[in-house]
Amino acid sequence: MSEPGKQKIGVIGGGLMGHGIAYLFAAAGHPVGLFEPMADIRASLPKRLAAIVELFGDNPALLQQIETYDQLAPAVKGAAFVFEAAPEKLPLKQKIFAELESAVAPETILASNSSAIPSTDIGRDLKHRERVVGTHFWNPPHLVPLVEVIQNDKTSDAVVRATMNLLRQAGKVPVHVRRDIPGFVGNRLQHAMKREAIALVAAGVCDAETIDTVVKEGFGARTAVLGPMEQSDLVGLNLTLDIAEVLIADLDRTAGPHPFLREKVAAGKLGMKTGEGLRKWGPGEAEAVRSGCHVFLSSRRKPGRKVRPKTATRHIARPATPGRALTPADSRTD
Ligand SMILES: NC(=O)c1ccc[n+]([C@@H]2O[C@H](COP(=O)([O-])OP(=O)(O)OC[C@H]3O[C@@H](n4cnc5c(N)ncnc54)[C@H](O)[C@@H]3O)[C@@H](O)[C@H]2O)c1
């Protein structure tokens, strides 16, 4: 049952992202109206939502808070916030936002989960543009804590504050992105790394499997507790500058997507879904990676924790051997 005083949340689209967004708000005690136009996807929702209940060991009764609709207006009726997670097409999102404007109160906050389309463009023709904001969740949205809250030129500060508060209360970790730029912050960082990784493989420096090992067993192993800014300060900016002097000019600077990536796509090598992309995927291997990722992320979700403490304890380095005291060498992380 929804908790008294919890605002209604509308969710548009019950696909990969939408069903997880609906779940996380229901788990935080909100009543949720979920609009999904495709009958087969609507029919698959109970099973997909039940799988999250099972993954988390949550009370299945919380699913009663999610009402699914085949029409937009009843799903968002009375909602304080609407999160749009429809396909990544600008005309479609503009049409949905126009419909939303006539279906909700003028103060209802309208958030788009677009990965790349600026909310400035999505909300361009609306009357009340101050309540349009970007909220970029990460897949799977019920497992990855971060949500980038992107303020466009028209979004009011009050709307950003209210959206961040709502997300915090639902156990997410919102960050304020002050400019509506392509890729926001997270995807710019992620794609900067992918650009170099693809160029290294294309140049024959190493294979794709080695790239994954270097990240997962190297700096990636500590990234969840030591961000790149913290790491730079930890090793010292003088060292960071010395390395940058040697390295930056040597990094890939291909203009546009790398030809190696274009060739893979043209050859139909799209990744796990076609059995080959940057790596080859045999039977069961893709599913093993996917479920391993879900199990890892769900193990980091603390049961009963709704709000993260503002000042989290920082773990910088751990002794390599249990029981061994830290030495200065342990905090060297370059
Ligand atoms: N998949 C990701 O990793 C990811 C991560 C962050 C953000 N996003 C963004 O989230 C949005 C949704 O992505 P997804 O991966 O969930 O896509 P998806 O295709 O899995 O889901 C989209 C859903 O919207 C429904 N839909 C189609 N037309 C609609 C309409 N007119 N009104 C409402 N719903 C409609 C579809 O039937 C489908 O169920 C996109 O903007 C995407 O860029 C995706």
| pLDDT given at position 332 | 36
Comparing C-alpha atoms, which of 36, 120, 102, 94 is closest to residue 70? 36
Atom of ligand 1 nearest to the CA of 12: 33
Task: Report the distance separating Cα 220 and Cα 312, nearest Å.
Answer: 20
Residue located via tokens 């029919």: 43
Burial label, 234 (beta-carbon count in 10 A; 0-12, 13-18, 19+) = middle
Task: Report the distance separating Cα 184 and Cα 279, nearest Å.
Answer: 28
- Has 136 been annotated as catalytic? yes
> How many residues in the chain?
334
| pLDDT given at position 328 | 35
Catalytic residue among 44, 115, 156, 232: 115
Task: Report the distance separating Cα 87 and Cα 93, nearest Å.
Answer: 8
| pLDDT given at position 303 | 52
Catalytic residue among 19, 101, 148, 152: 148
Query: What is the whole-number distance in angstroms between the Cα of residue 18 and the centre of ligand 1?
Result: 7
Query: What is the whole-number distance in angstroms between the Cα of residue 64 and the centre of ligand 1?
Result: 23
For ligand 1, say whether the CB of 22 is within 6 Å of any of its atoms: no
Which of 69-93 are b and which e, b meaning 16 or more Cβ less than 10 Å from the residue's Cβ?
beebeebbeebbbbbbbbeeeeeeb
- pLDDT averaged per 10 residues, the chain (length 334): 87 98 98 98 98 93 97 98 97 98 97 94 96 97 96 98 98 97 94 98 98 97 96 98 98 97 98 97 95 87 45 35 37 37
| pLDDT given at position 255 | 95
| pLDDT given at position 1 | 64
- Has 30 been annotated as catalytic? no
Catalytic residue among 19, 30, 136, 142: 136
Which of 121-147 are b and which e, b meaning 16 or more Cβ less than 10 Å from the residue's Cβ?
ebbeebebbbbbbbbbbbebbbbbbeb
Burial label, 99 (beta-carbon count in 10 A; 0-12, 13-18, 19+) = middle
For ligand 1, say whether the CB of 92 is within 6 Å of any of its atoms: yes
- Has 291 been annotated as catalytic? no
- Has 148 been annotated as catalytic? yes
For ligand 1, say whether the CB of 135 is within 6 Å of any of its atoms: no
CA atoms within 13 A on the CB side of 141: 29
Catalytic residue among 44, 187, 232, 298: 187
Q: 146-150 and 32-35 as β-strands: parallel, antiparallel, unpaired?
A: unpaired
Consecutive H or E run containing 148: strand 146-150
For ligand 1, say whether the CB of 96 is within 6 Å of any of its atoms: yes
For ligand 1, say whether the CB of 85 is within 6 Å of any of its atoms: yes
Q: CB-based contacts of 77: which residues, under 8 Å, 6+ apart?
A: 33, 103, 104
